[in-house]
Amino acid sequence: MDVTIGESTVDGTAQAPPSKSYTHRAILAAGYADGAVVTDPLVSADTRATMRAVTAYGGSTDLAADEGALTVEGFDGRPETPDDVIDCANSGTTTRLVTATAALGDDLTVLTGDDSLRSRPQGALLDAIEQLGGRAESTRRNEQAPLVVGDGIDGGHVAIPGDVSSQYITALLMAGAVTDEGIDVELTTGLKSSPYVDITLEVLDAYGVDAEKTAEGYSVAGGQRYAPEGGEYHVPGDFSSISYLLAMGALAADEEVVVTSAVPSAQGDTAIVDILERMGADLDWNEDAGEITVRRSDLSGIEVGVEDTPDLLPTIATLGAAADGVTRITDAEHVRYKETDRVSAMAEALTKMGAEVEEREDELLVYGEDTDLQGATVDGRADHRIIMSLAVAGLVADGETTVTGAEHVDVSFPNFFEVLEKLGATLVRSE
């Protein structure tokens, strides 16, 4: 599906979707348990992949008709051997988290996904599992899926780099809680995207599992049981998705955009509020009510490091293209290893829309003072975050902007374009 967005103003109230990061962890944690009810989950292509994995390992998932609650019957710690290959589709989070689950099994599990997922690095996690005595191989011997994993790890000490993906650490901590010995994770480099591990610790705590940050890295004791209080876990709103709603308000609000379900949490992407304020946005965050109100503002370029907030790079790049001055996004090399190379994708698309952009190995510079955005046909790269950011850019570009492959918003914000229409944007869908 392609979506064409005309230059538009927006106004009104929009509810943020539930957090994808929390939903993944909550579903798998319920799988490790006897079971649990996950309330207000994000139901998307990615989180359905995690549901399928839990089912493959011997659990089950039952989604309420209104999608407001997901009842999970767990596999109680140790997974069964799947009857078939686990298809993680396009979900890198699913792949990494349930690869560590596979390492708990006595037999072998095969994990794969789509073309994009099979190009993403998994080597450090495979090496970590082998350090723990498990089997973990890439069928193509290139450290990428398809993966073959198993042989029943019992825990131990593992050394792993922290500058490729924090999901490796999350995977090991979640699996380590049900091993006999627990897992001590030693980081051999600095940790990027560390707030995502904070999310993991928060979810583990809610499920009654103790894990902690240590001088060397992280540690989780073995022999623990997953059991959330009252048998339920509630998923908070997603700040990665909130970033697009706030950006469209700051750039294109006629009066104001109010974003609900914006409750403070461990999410690193809450940084979007501070970033917008630094750029000069007129916004107010009522943290108790979980509401952020934003008005159209004259923005100025700033320097932003995305070491801990890689998912914000596309949003920040769009804001920079509509701001005065230069927006410099630094510490961005790891953002090249997402669903697509997001640094290159945003540089290419914004350039096509008339922006002056400079791409470096670990930086993206957007020269807003030299930019007059024009409508164009741009490639969404089958990446939900690229698609939504370019749709926001289309609101303030002269003429019409067509974003290709727009159906991929289903990964994290399935009703994004419905919300955009409700706020008053002019858009047309075409197959």
Q: Residues with catalytic annotation?
A: 311
| Residue-wise burial string across 209-248, b where 16 or more C-beta atoms lie within 10 A, e elsewhere | bebeeeeebbbbbeebebbbeeeebbbbbbbbbbbbbbbb
| Residue-wise burial string across 391-421, b where 16 or more C-beta atoms lie within 10 A, e elsewhere | bbbbbbbeebbbbbbbbbbbbbbbebbebbe
Q: Coil, strand or helix: which one is 209?
A: coil
Neighbours of 284 (CB within 10 A): 12
**Element spanning 389, H or E:** helix 384-395
**Element spanning 159, H or E:** strand 156-160
In the block, which residue shows the tokens 């600095």? 190
Give the end-to-end CA distance of the chain in Å, rounded to a whole number.
5
Q: List all residues 6 or more positions away from 8 whose beta carbon is below 8 Å from its beta carbon.
A: 252, 395, 424, 425, 426, 427
Neighbours of 313 (CB within 10 A): 25
Q: Where are the alpha helices (DSSP H) in 177-286?
A: 194-206, 239-252, 271-279
d(Cα 242, Cα 261) in Å, to the nearest integer?
9
Q: What residues are paired with 367 via a beta bridge? A: 326, 356
Residues 21, 97: contact at Cβ < 8 Å?
no
